Structure 1
Amino acid sequence: MQVGTEILSADIPLRQKDGSAVKLTGVKVGDLIRAKVLDLLPDGRAHLRVAGQNVIVKASYPMAKGDNLILELIRQGEPPVFKPAAQSSLTVMPGQQGDLKSLAALFSKATFHLESVAAINDPGVKTILENLALKSGKRDEGLLVRLIENLGLTLEKKMAAMAVSKGLPMDGNRLSDTPAHVLKTDLKAAVLNLLSRDSGSDGANLLKSASAAIESFQQINTQSFDGNRFLLPFPILAPGFLEFGQLFINTGDRSGKGNQKKDRVIDVAFLMNMTALGKIRADFAFYKKNITGGFLLENQSICDYMRTLMPELKSRLGSIGFNAGHIGCQVAPASSFSLGGLAKAMSGSGSDDSRALDLVI
């Protein structure tokens, strides 16, 4: 990635392209907002998109076209002045654009087969899904750990570790060697165990489809592992039904270049379908104890309702030690809730208008 010329000042005053001051409302000193570098201009200036506005900046901060920045407001006024808090981990890396179609295809295959997982009528599988599920109306601090350990994405790794600890050869991690406690807690192990017993039954195709879903998610996360990007399906348990949402986490490039661990921006997005609110997509950026972001929703009435909940959300975040910056919501087109949209987020190539973090303030 080529870095632009550093100039003038580490502070970043925002001005419109015609030179007039940018006016931002609802942003306080210390708040974080996202900016995208659209182009590098002559005389050391840069063209950014900030809070839905195209602006020109001057700064002694290395920028490159396509960079995503997190800016902290340090002085209000006309123009408002920001300083860079950190570079976002959602910068497009070389070669990722060409992989976007294959990633989206994997998404489609994986989520298509997820319905098969929910349809398995086996007490053991149902218990595993219930233990993994996000329960409606309940705070769940252990959800992420449970998903990583028991969704089936790490089954082969667990089996290999067990073989090594017992001094056994790792010759295919045979299902017959799987301990009983793994069969009772790991979704993929339970599905494969059922399939080994009922391979010729009418339900075999359902089990094969469920296994294919888990293996597709394994493949997705293997492809994105080097970029520290992870996509995890999570069961949602509500009275009378079970379905899956999608959780995307981006903790930055594993190469060690760019952000150090102490100032790394962590991006989190999720897609889910809620009974009362319909489809929801949320994008958030975490920087140290600061959080900024927003929600994409299907219609204006739901969006208006969600806005009334923002003060309570910020209060709850504050009660657990987070400093909530701007968190908003807006109505979005159907494409924003698509698998392709999330694939773009994983690859870092999403457009400004498709991300809740770029809400007009």
Structure 2
Amino acid sequence: MVSHPILDKISQRMQQLNNDGLLRKRKLSHDNSNPSVIDFSHNDYLGLASANEMVDALTQGATIYGVGSKASPLVSGYSQAHLQLEQSLCELTGHEAGLLFCSGFSANQALIKTLFDANNVVIADKLIHASIIDGVRDSGAVFKRFKHNDLDHAKQLLERNPDSVVITESVFSMDGDKAPLKSLQLLCQQYNSLLVVDDAHGFGVTPTQANGKFCDIQVVTFGKALGCQGAAILGPKAVIDFMVAQSRQYIYSTALSPASAYLALAAVKLTQEQPQRLAALNANIAEFRQACGKNNIELTDSTTAIQPVLIGDSNKTVLIASKLFDLGFAVGAIRPPTVPAGQARLRITINAQHSQHDIAELVCVIATLI
């Protein structure tokens, strides 16, 4: 290989990441081809990704619309499947209009980089997702952060910056705790500010959307509880119309495939028609936390499917996750910069399909390793 400063930089950085236990590599997923591994690492909380109804819906969607949208939404890529999904999401959440994207990351980036500029102040929770951090920085907006879920700190920033925008997550992806959405909504109303909620890990498994609209703009993703692919921005019609006219990510991207939109609509319906899936998930979360308590495994206060076990050291976290895999359990080994330095953890995600035996065995093995 030829010598070049960029290649030299890559080599040095990769070696440093490896030494620090922070090097990320792709690996094949733990799917049905390896049934001996019980997967506690993915976000398919309700078990919809492999549900027979979903397989049938994808087949039906592809039969009706084909497998690709073939163009940008503003050319010829916007179909009846997209419209029906947007309308269904609005009916469910109470928002006026919706806009579909191929991923939650692109939806967050599009929303923030299109709506905000140097004249705006964005106030975000300290633990907000990387896509939002990058989007705000790229937008040029004044960026302020409040301590995680700290309403007093958020109020202080709002007092000094009325007419701004507050951004938070509904369920935080690494800690699994929930934002105080109702209180944040009241604060935003008091200081004439918009509330934007990244509802990626909450949509489909938390009751927030059933209680009426809880924010001004809501970003939902389909790759977690809905078990498929894509995302949507939901909000006032004026905002969505502006996004259609101005969002570079929307204008210059091939649309989400109509088959995927058809599938996501089927998933939305299943979350409403099969409440037993959510009941099973909640029972399994309680089972896991109870088992950890009996085995003296310290957990955070999370009551959601995301159950982190803090380890601290990155190399130790990777080693424990590797040993767990060898023993038949796949878990996430989460390290900086995804989490702060010294807070590496096993990210255990519970789903509706885990059995009590699966959970008990996992907890017993973790107890012997940490």
Q: Which category of TM-score, normalised to the shorter sequence, fits these structures?
A: under 0.3
More helix by share: 2
Higher relative contact order (CA 8 A, sep 6+): 2
- Greater Rg over alpha carbons, structure: 1
More strand by share: 1
